Each structure stands twice: as C-alpha cells, then as structure tokens.
Structure 1
Amino acid sequence: MRSLRKARRIQIIAIAAVALAGSAALMGYAFREGINFFRSPSQVAEAPPPPSEVFRIGGLVEEGSLLRGEGTEIAFRVTDGGASIPVTYVGVLPDLFGEGEGMVGTGSYVDGVFRATEILARHDETYMPAEVIDALKEQGVYQEPGAES
C-alpha cells in the first residue's frame, strides 16, 4: 500500500513539473514579440541596435526640430542631453506632444533614423515617464517640474 502512495506522489509531482515547464514555455513564446526594451538616445548612439529589433526610445523632443510633412508624416529629434536621434512617425500625435516635452516612442532604428510606430506623450503637464527621467538624470539635464530654468 505504501509503495502505491509513493508511486502516485511521484507521478503527480512529475505531471506538475511537466505542466509548469509547458506553461512557462508557452508564456515565453507569447511574450517574445511583446517585450520592448527601453533605450535612451545616448544608448542608441553608442550601440545602434539592429533594424529588426523593436524597442522603446525616450527623451525630450529637441527644440526647433519638429517638422510636419505631407499628411500625417512628422519628423523630429529626441534627445537626452547627451545625444540626439532623428525620429520619423506617420500618424496622429498625442495632444500634449510638443518641442521640449517628454516622449516615448516604440519602433526600430533603420539607417540612422528611429522609425516610430507609436508615440506616447505625458498625460498632463507634470508627468514624465520614469525611464525618460532616469535617462535625463543620467545625462545631468533633468529639471524637476516647476524648477526655474
């Protein structure tokens, strides 16, 4: 009777381990395209990622760099104070998007230009994404909201 219980426990543990490994593999497969790494403009300039890699870039929209093209085509430069990366985007920009404002874009770096598929801007006049704040602090150009220039 005891060997039957022991064998049953071993079977249950083995089935649970296989189910856990299977679910972990399925989750990894599902997230392989959905995980985007964040990079600052300085990191992109130092080590440009391959054109096939989709990632997020964030910083401040450089003053005087915003150009509106035909239709919904927009070009600008994003900076963290250390480097500046050209960005192109086709679509409608968020209402609070503007020069000197924080932004995060998702896309890929192709031929020296970040081609954004999505642009996010802050949701009010004081918010800035944590990744952008960290990148700006690293470059020594971050100013607290409301601080005098």
Structure 2
Amino acid sequence: MTPRRRRMVLVALIVLGVGSAAAFALTAFQDNLLYFYSPSDVTAGKAPTDRVFRVGGMVPEGSFSRASGSLEAHFILTDYAHEVKVSYTGVLPDLFREGQGVIARGRMGADGVFVAEEVLAKHDENYMPPEVAKTLKKQHEKPTNSGPLPTT
C-alpha cells in the first residue's frame, strides 16, 4: 500500500469516527430534550404519548383535591381555553396553591390524566414560568366570536 493510499484510508477512518461520534451525541441530546406543552396543545393531541414532557398553566380555584393522610394529589391545569387533569404522588412545593402558575413534568396516562413526576411552582408574587406566561398571553389575545357589543 502506497503512502498516499494509506493517508486516504486514515483520513476516511477519522471522518467516519467523527461522524459516528456526532451521530451518537445528537441521538443522546434528542432523547434528553424536555418539551413544554400548554393544556390546549395536550387536548389537541400535540403532546407525545410515549415520552416525558412538561405541561404548564394555572391551577384554578377549587380544582385541588387530596385524600386525608395520602400523598396522592389531583388538580387541574388550565390555560383558560382547555384543561388537563393532573395526578401527582409526593410532596408538593410549599408555594403550590390554587390560583398560581405551575409546571408539571411527567407523561400522559392511558386514561387521559397527566401523571406528574415533578411539580414546580412559582417562587414569588411577580414570577411566572416564561412558557406559562407566553401561553396565557396567547390565549387572551385570541379573538372571540361573541359578535358586537350590545348598545344601550
């Protein structure tokens, strides 16, 4: 084998190795992405059913329930257009309460209830997770089909 041919084989092997490493890195990165969906996206079927994702919104007043002595909590997340039922087993954050913004990480159950692995609540009066604020703002900007306002 000539030196020129040997160099070409070596370059080809290096390119193949770098390409394989890049493909493995991109695959691992894709598997670790955690997408955010609004309750409207989840009810529209845009959220994955086979992987973990985040859903965020507001917890409406009167939607939270927990049996006495149990760690299993049930509540609703809404973007004021659609709602998603959420089930979570564990200790909720201290700042979790009705009327506040929340992001939950988990996956959809077979019964259509989002089973959360982790629940994050806002940390002060002025903060709302950016994804939730954007979704709520988008819902409030949608035109309604209520027609013209009545005149008196």
| Interval of TM-score (by shorter of Structure 1 and Structure 2) | 0.7 to 0.9
| 1:107 aligned residue | 106
For residues 49 and 108 of structure 1, the distance between their equivalents in structure 2, rounded to whole angstroms, comes to 9
User: In the alignment, which of 14, 20, 23 is matched to residue 22 of structure 1?
Assistant: 20
Long gaps (5+) in structure 2:
142-152
For residues 88 and 7 of structure 1, the distance between their equivalents in structure 2, rounded to whole angstroms, comes to 62
Does residue 137 (structure 1) correspond to residue 108 (structure 2)? The answer is no
Q: Residue 140 of structure 1 aligns to a residue in which SS?
A: helix
Percent identity reads 43
Q: How many residues align?
A: 138
For residues 13 and 48 of structure 1, the distance between their equivalents in structure 2, rounded to whole angstroms, comes to 44
Relative to the length of structure 2, the TM-score reads 0.78
For residues 124 and 20 of structure 2, the distance between their equivalents in structure 1, rounded to whole angstroms, comes to 43
Is 2:71–2:91's contact at 8 Å kept on the other side of the alignment? yes
Aligned-pair distance for 1:89? 0.1
Q: Residue 18 of structure 1 aligns to a residue in which SS?
A: helix
Question: Can you list the C-alpha shifts for 1:8-49, whole angstroms capped at 9, x where unaligned?
Answer: 3x4564344223222222223433442221110001111264
Q: 1:6 to 1:50 in 2, by over 3 A?
A: closer
> Aligned ranges for residues 1-149 of structure 1 at < 5 Å?
4=3, 8=7, 10-11=8-9, 13-47=11-45, 49=47, 51-69=49-67, 70-110=69-109, 111-140=111-140
Superposition RMSD in Å: 2.3
Q: 1:14 to 1:138 in 2, by over 3 A?
A: same
For residues 117 and 47 of structure 2, the distance between their equivalents in structure 1, rounded to whole angstroms, comes to 16
